[in-house]
Amino acid sequence: MDKYIIKGGGRLEGVIPVQTAKNSVLPILAATVLTDEEVRVLNVPDITDVRNMVRILTCLGCRAVWEGRDIIIDSSSAEKCEIPRALAHELRSSVFLLGSVVSRFRKAKIAYPGGCDIGLRPVDLHLNGLKRLGVQITESNGYINCACQKLVGNEIMLDCPSVGATENIMLAAVKAEGETVIKNAAREPEIEDLQKFLNSLGARVKGAGTGTIVIEGVKTLSGGVYQPISDRIEAGTFLIAAAMCGGDIELTGTNAENLSSLLHKLRENGCKLRIKNDKIYLRSDRRPVSVKSVETQPYPGFPTDLQAQMTALCCVCAGNSIVTENLFETRFKYVPELRRMGADITVIDRSAFVRGVERLRGAVTVAHDLRGGAALVIAALAAEGDSEVLDICHIDRGYAGFEYKLSSLGAKIKRVSI
């Protein structure tokens, strides 16, 4: 088990290349089960969630090989349809494999998936969507069992625009008979990326990025080579870190349009931003001012995966802020850890009321989930004195070489084995 030791108080300056999006790579890897031909996914981040997804694919009988930063998946020898309990508990995104595995084998078995403890994330939307395509589902002893004679396209109305359910239904419907229409679909950029990937293999999907996705089933998919989009959450984390610590940074290989809600808030904070092609420049030369209100919403609203980092920033702003979490009910588990550092935060129901302080103090804190852990790291970078962040295995789920990238910006951070 590792921890971070951080000496705070320094500015962040330099250039950071943004990694490929975790939330694109995982469903794309799940989708490789749909074809018997080889697929190469380019520039994949070496993070725990990706490693676990590859282990699951291997357990299904797929051949997975890393070549540098690329992963080559050959699913032609896949023969198993059960996702092991231990791996499902490690990776929330294992649920994506329901759609692709039941499409491939007409049956699938998976334990209820795990991941970060940020509240209830029921899979009912996933299962109801699969039922509409003709899948019979039973649940017993902590497992979800799926079976069907064939998949048949249908109209599916989601009760809420769930990213995971939208992607799972897309994967199941790609090779179903006839046409599937997903209404109230999630609009996140990662949904569009999955559509582009599937279409590059010969699928017929349109409408991703809007509330209605139409899928015309095909019989087979081919192999291919694909570069997923950049990680808007990693990009946002570094931008917030520079705003919080003060600094002058440049992000390369990113898409500012996918971060518009965050960039709007950072301008409110008083940061100076410049965008050119795939680069975002941020300068922060003074104490940031409060943004008054932040509310997480489905895309294009403010992303829940940047809520913790934004709350950390609000802790050192001049003025008061209210941060409201509308998507997950227990995503403020990091707040007591920030209070250890001198933050003035009161949580009532789904809102955190933040009164900005001049400076946070170094402290020993514990990461309880991926994004909350990242928030504790950037808070420690902005604090006076030394800090430790424990249980950084959560951070490793989504950030590749986090400490190395921060060090390249001048941060004083090191990983230590306990």
Lookup result for tokens 């020993």: 364
Q: What distance in Å separates the CA atoms of residue 331 and residue 335, rounded to the nearest whole number?
A: 9
The Cα–Cα gap between 301 and 369 comes to: 22
Closest CA to 300 of 159, 120, 161, 119: 161
Cα 343 to Cα 106: distance, rounded to the nearest angstrom: 52
Rg of the chain over all Cα atoms, to the nearest angstrom: 21
Please count the helices (runs of H) and the strands (runs of E) in the chain: 14, 24
Cα separation, 375 vs 333, in Å, equals 11
Q: Which two tokens stand for residue 225?
A: 């080579």
Q: Which helix (H) or strand (E) holds 48?
A: helix 48-59
Q: Are strands 320-324 and 292-295 parallel, antiparallel or unpaired?
A: parallel
Buried b (16+ CB within 10 A) or exposed e, 213-231: bbbebbeebebbebbbbbb
Q: Are strands 143-147 and 136-140 parallel, antiparallel or unpaired?
A: antiparallel
Q: Name the packing angle between helices 163-173 and 97-105 (round to 10°).
A: 10
d(CA 372, CA 366): 9
User: Annotated catalytic, 81?
Assistant: no
Q: Are 209 and 191 in contact (CB under 8 A)?
A: yes
Out of 116, 146, 245, 315, which one is annotated catalytic? 116
The residues assigned a catalytic role are 116
